[in-house]
Chains A and B, each alone.
Chain A
Amino acid sequence: MSKFIKLIAISFLAVVFLAACGGGTDGDTDTDTGTDGDTTQEQIGEGDIELVFWEFGNTGYDVLIEEYVAENPHVSINLQNSDMNDLHDNLFTSISAGSGAPDITMIEEAQIERFKTAPQAFENLYDYGASDVEGDFLDWVWNNGRSAEGDFQFGLPTDIGPTVMFYRTDVFEEAGFDSSPEAVSDLVATWDDFEEVGRQIKDSTGKLMTDAGELVYNARRDQATQQYFNPDGDLIMDEHNQIRDAFDYVAGLFEQDLVGDIPLWTPEWFGGMGDGTYATMLAPAWMQGVIKDNEPEEGVWSITTMPEGAGNWGGSYLAIPSETEHAEEAYAFIQWLTAPEQQLKAFEGYGLFPSTPAVYDMPEFLEYEDDYFGGIATAQVFSEAAQAVETVYKGRNFYPVDDEVKEALDNLSAGADPESEWEAALDRINRILERQ
């Protein structure tokens, strides 16, 4: 028995000793960074009300949170950062199981659709006064975070990914065009222009107009006022012609070899950015970093508006799972974090593009220029795009359906017949929907 007691005593001492070593407290904020697998967590603040906050990516929210807990000492925030897919898988599992969800979670724009089928698992932000801030956000971003009926707000928007046309000035000049953003914007004002300019670039330089069918299709899809589903959840993609037009347009580009078969995120796609294999890329604001990594030379790529409008790719929402015991405090925090002042800081620090149009008029934002893109006020180009995005109903099966269309597009690049590919895609889509 005495051996047993000794063992306990030693273990106890060891724990106390280790804890003493770890507890370096510095003034009012105690920052304790621990790592659990690929998840890093950081405890910020010393308040009694602890809010667990799941985030992904590189948001720089820790700096903002320190500001918040300094003003609100009764709150402390446990910020846990993990991989984007892991976060959504974990959230799905914990909601499905009914335990383990955090107080606040970030949900990616593409993923929020499937969580909308579980309103019982989230707090309706309208109950906490979300209607007061509704007007601060862009309509389409707000509506994407809301139920089809419009009475349940799942999340407050953080950042967005408005799409524009990135283009290579050298290729446009080689083809004999004026390569200033204004001139290119006028030159490629419509999708017919896009096709025509593509032909001229191909004739005079032998280069592709754009990388792959996917981004052209996305651009045209995002400009459609009706997409795959109506708010009742019925598949309508074959009943109106906007999606079919987008599909046929890409098929036409493939037939004329104006668009490449260079899948996104492949080595040849990254390489093409530096080599100028393709003249344009229809991509969101956050693609700037990818381009800069692959083409070190300044002034080669520039930015202008996309033909006939804009679209959105990416961005996130902050939601409050119902499991929380501190919904009021959680809401107060996310409302603060998504307010225009904080969104401006997130933009300046980490390039998160704001979802609140008030930021677009702030002087710091207007003056934001980028030498890399020829010294133009890039933030303004993106903010124009952000305001041109259409509100459209997506529906919970949006992404599975979209994947099947992308598969059809992939087959088109190999020379398949558009009509039969469209039918085959519809067939696959119907089989997916039967399961729901």
Chain B
Amino acid sequence: METTTKARGLSEKKKTALSAYLFISPFFILFAIFGLFPMVFSFYLSFFRWDGLSPMTYIGVRNFELIFTDPVFFSSILNTFIIGLMGTLPQIFIGILLAFALNSTLIRYRNTFRTFVFLPYITSIVAVAIIFGVVFNNQPFGFANYILSTFDIGPIRWNAEYWPVKFAIATMVFWRWVGYNTIIFLAGMQSIPKELYEAAKIDGATVGQQIRLITLPMLKPIVMFVVFTATIGSFQLFTEPLIFLGRGLREEGITMVAYLWRDAFVYNSFGTASAAAIVLFFIIIAITAINLLITNRLGRSKKIG
């Protein structure tokens, strides 16, 4: 009751401001509890040794020393980049081609195909990892090994060898996300005026020329968006390696997030996990800055051109 009388005492402008703040407050309150606090706390934690159960002990930069002397940490960074590139670059090319095909008037049942291409995205990630676990099976009768055997290539240990692990995980990422990106590209392509294609056809342009000279330049902002989200997505790569490799997370396929998860929840070493999280934080900032720089430059050249 008191608050209402107080509110009555406020001026109309302040009242509007107050209600506006109230309306946006749920996000900020939730963000403060579940976003900001954990972030700040992991900065704090990275200078402590803590197993989650006993009291914390301050150990200075020892956690950072530990992770920077751990070759697996560097492998995890390298793996994240390699798998990220292997998983997302082909996505962009194939995604554009698929979107172009779905956008063209030549194909029948377009809506059906659009649905199909998007389906992998809504599949449970655990189911995906299990199915791919069968495809990339170490045994000679595993699907991938069987196909390779017809080319006289011996069975590959997909979850233990350096490149095969990365290839398998990248394939999983590709399969799951290519449909999503295709739909994004498709949305972008549909905003390109049809007249441009018609004019090009009248001038005798081939399909290849149409893609290269009309679709791609017009699609630049969409490509930027996809590259952005895919970069962030690949830094967060976690479930696929975890389920494909199991809790042991072999060095050949461990990603950064998987590395810090394992430190925290398998080894109960929350200090080193936080330290790794902070290194990841700065890497993401750096990559985002580079991304922004490139985007800005491309944006500018477009204006000049």
Contact = CB atoms under 8 A, between A and B. Distances in A.
Contacts of B52: 92, 96
Contact of B157 (A115, A267, A414, A435): A414
A59 to B, nearest CB: 25
Interface stretch (B118-126, B133-141, B188-196): B133-141
Contact of A92 (B49, B53, B137, B250): B53
Interface in B258-305: 263, 265-269, 271-272
Contact of A403 (B51, B247, B265): B247
Interface in A400-426: 400, 403-404, 406-407, 410-411, 414
A118 B271 contact: no
B53 A414 contact: no
Given A117-B51, A267-B134, A435 B263 contact: yes
B54 interface: yes
Contact of B272 (A262, A428, A435): A435
A6 interface: no
B267 A268 contact: no
Contacts of B66: 431, 434-435
A114 interface: yes
Contacts of A435: 49, 66, 263, 267, 269, 271-272
Give the interface residue-count category, chain B: 20 to 34
Contact of B160 (A96, A121, A411, A432): A411
B202 to A, nearest CB: 57
Nearest to A117: B53
Given A432-B267, A435-B271, A407 B54 contact: no
Nearest to A428: B72
Contacts of B267: 400, 432, 435-436
B138 A261 contact: yes
A117 B271 CA distance: 17
Contacts of A263: 138
A435 B265 CA distance: 13
Give the interface residue-count category, chain A: 20 to 34
B162 to A, nearest CB: 12
B9 interface: no
Contacts of B72: 428, 431
Interface string B94-111: 000000000000000000
Contact of A400 (B139, B157, B266): B266
A434 B271 CA distance: 12
B120 to A, nearest CB: 22
A138 interface: no
A414 B160 contact: yes
Nearest to A268: B139
B59 to A, nearest CB: 11
A436 B51 CA distance: 7
Contacts of A267: 134
A33 B37 CA distance: 37
A218 to B, nearest CB: 15
Interface of B: 49, 51-54, 66, 70, 72, 133-134, 137-139, 141, 157, 160, 247-248, 250, 263, 265-269, 271-272
11 contacts: A117-B53, A118-B53, A267-B134, A268-B139, A407-B248, A407-B250, A435-B263, A435-B272, A436-B51, A436-B267, A436-B268
